[in-house]
């Protein structure tokens, strides 16, 4: 067995852990929690995480699951709330100052799973951004157009950059903004350009590894269907290029691992790629293909810590070793959920040191 890389204090800055009630949280949480020092769970749960009280309760729910798997205290949780025009700023600030809320996530109305209550126009959000900017509360943006706008889904991110993201950045230059799961050349270039010093982006493993052919050619693979959808090869290459040449530390690990039961995927093709069981191997594979393994530590952890001014507590520090191993077959399904690389052979394996 040959060691490929050691990674310390991995942080998944965008992951869907779901809930105990919908049965997915106990299935998917250990896959992520085992290897990370921190995780930022998305608030589009059912019911959504709207208030600081919801965020506090959601943290407790995650902690219950972590405790069950003897992982409590080994991973930090960064609770984020689901921003809507009705978000109560007094509650948000109180929650932030109390440490119950880390940040806010903005969904475009109707554009993805559980986003019907999201944002349709950003102007109405300006008073909320103003308060967030004042207190240093970060904003995570799902950058696509709301469902009621007639736009081709392959162009949705591009339009939303122009119509939503740039106006936010121009009007709130001190607001910390993370553009989530970028999928286009335009996004990659905007983030790396440095035009907005407070802008970073998360990048998923699937958007680093694949273009849309992988999902569409030779039969539709709904397990690779996610929002924002995989784009043309030139976009994947632009993202790779930006990540490869990232000197400013603006690209962050955010798997967007989004578990849906196989039965639900079959029925409605719900959006989401379940990468949690293999996410470390997936990023290592991508960075090996890009020939920049030496950039992976910054991407997986350091860039997050630098941007958010975060230090990993001693009890949560972890080292993950990734080794080259005899090819092993990734299971077709984990607990009823089809993972990334399902049925494929991998010759990389992550383990805790």
Nearer to ligand DOR, 226 or 286 (CB): 226
Which one among 119, 132, 169, 271 touches ligand DOR, defined by CB under 6 A? 271
Question: Which pair of tokens denotes residue 283?
Answer: 């990023």
133-152 residues in contact with ligand DOR (CB under 6 A) are: 142
DSSP 165: I
Q: How far, in Å, CA of 211 to CA of 220, rounded?
A: 13
Radius of gyration for the chain, computed over Cα atoms and rounded to the nearest angstrom: 19
238-297 residues in contact with Zn ion (CB under 5 A) are: 256
* 3-class secondary structure, 36: strand
Query: Torsion-angle region of residue 289: left (phi > 0), alpha (psi -120 to 50) or beta?
Result: alpha
133 lies in the site for Zn ion, by CB under 5 A: no
Q: How far, in Å, CA of 269 to CA of 222, rounded?
A: 6
182 lies in the site for ligand DOR, by CB under 6 A: no
Q: What are phi and psi of 95, to 5 degrees?
A: -65, -40
Q: Least distance (Å) from Zn ion to the CB of residue 226?
A: 8
Which member of 12, 256, 332, 335 is catalytic? Answer: 256
Nearer to ligand DOR, 48 or 349 (CB): 48
Nearest to 323 by CA among 297, 349, 289, 292: 349
Helix axes 25-35, 52-68, angle to 10 degrees: 80
Which one among 4, 5, 7, 16 touches ligand DOR, defined by CB under 6 A? 16
Distances (CA, A) of 193 to 84, 190, 200, 252: 29, 5, 11, 16
Q: How far, in Å, CA of 333 to CA of 301, rounded?
A: 28
Q: Least distance (Å) from ligand DOR to the CB of residue 347?
A: 28
Q: How far, in Å, CA of 139 to CA of 137, rounded?
A: 7
24-63 residues in contact with Zn ion (CB under 5 A) are: 42
Residue number, nearest CB to Zn ion: 256
Nearer to Zn ion, 268 or 315 (CB): 268
227 binds, among ligand DOR, Zn ion, none (CB under 5 to 8 A by kind): ligand DOR
Nearer to Zn ion, 87 or 178 (CB): 178
272 lies in the site for ligand DOR, by CB under 6 A: yes
First to last CA, the chain: 14
271 binds, among ligand DOR, Zn ion, none (CB under 5 to 8 A by kind): ligand DOR
Q: What are phi and psi of 84, to 5 degrees?
A: -140, 170
Q: How far, in Å, CA of 334 to CA of 230, rounded?
A: 23
305 binds, among ligand DOR, Zn ion, none (CB under 5 to 8 A by kind): none
Q: Least distance (Å) from ligand DOR to the CB of residue 114?
A: 6
Q: How far, in Å, CA of 289 to CA of 151, rounded?
A: 33
63-122 residues in contact with ligand DOR (CB under 6 A) are: 112-113
Q: Least distance (Å) from Zn ion to the CB of residue 258?
A: 6
Nearer to ligand DOR, 238 or 258 (CB): 258
**Among this protein's residues, is 256 annotated catalytic?**
yes
41 binds, among ligand DOR, Zn ion, none (CB under 5 to 8 A by kind): none
Binding site for Zn ion (CB under 5 A): 42, 256
Q: Which residues form the catalytic set?
A: 256
Binding site for ligand DOR (CB under 6 A): 16, 44, 112-113, 142, 226-227, 258, 271-272
């Amino acid at each position: 067995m040959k060691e490929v890389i050691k990674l310390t204090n991995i942080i998944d800055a965008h992951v869907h852990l779901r809930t105990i009630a919908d049965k997915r949280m106990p299935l998917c949480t250990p896959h992520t929690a085992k290897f990370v020092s921190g995780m930022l769970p998305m608030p589009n749960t059912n019911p959504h995480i709207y208030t600081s009280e919801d965020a506090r309760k959601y943290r407790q729910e995650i902690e219950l699951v972590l405790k069950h798997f003897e992982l409590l205290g080994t991973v930090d949780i960064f609770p984020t709330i689901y921003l809507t025009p009705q978000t109560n700023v007094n509650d948000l600030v109180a929650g932030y100052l109390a440490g119950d809320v880390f940040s806010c996530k903005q969904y475009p109305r109707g554009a993805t799973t559980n986003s019907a209550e999201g944002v349709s126009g950003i102007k109405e959000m300006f008073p909320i951004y103003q308060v967030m900017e004042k207190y240093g509360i970060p904003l995570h943006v799902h950058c696509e157009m709301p469902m009621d706008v007639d736009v081709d889904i392959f162009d949705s991110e591009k339009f939303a950059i122009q119509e939503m993201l740039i106006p936010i950045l121009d009007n709130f230059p001190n607001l910390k903004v993370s553009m989530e799961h970028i999928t286009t050349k335009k996004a990659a270039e905007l983030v790396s350009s440095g035009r907005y010093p407070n802008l970073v982006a998360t990048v998923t493993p699937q958007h680093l590894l694949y273009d849309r052919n992988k999902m569409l050619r030779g039969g539709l693979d709904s397990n690779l269907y996610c929002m924002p959808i995989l784009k043309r090869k030139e976009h994947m290459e632009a993202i790779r290029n930006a990540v490869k040449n990232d000197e400013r530390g603006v690209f962050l690990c955010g798997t967007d691992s989004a578990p849906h039961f196989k039965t639900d995927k079959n029925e409605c093709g719900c959006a989401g790629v379940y990468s949690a069981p293999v996410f470390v191997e997936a990023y290592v594979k991508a960075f090996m293909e890009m020939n920049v393994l030496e950039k992976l530590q910054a991407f997986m952890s350091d860039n997050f810590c630098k941007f958010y001014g975060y230090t990993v507590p001693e009890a949560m520090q972890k080292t993950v070793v990734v080794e080259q191993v005899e090819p092993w077959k990734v299971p077709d399904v984990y607990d009823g959920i089809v993972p990334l690389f399902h049925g494929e052979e991998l010759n990389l394996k992550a383990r805790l040191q």
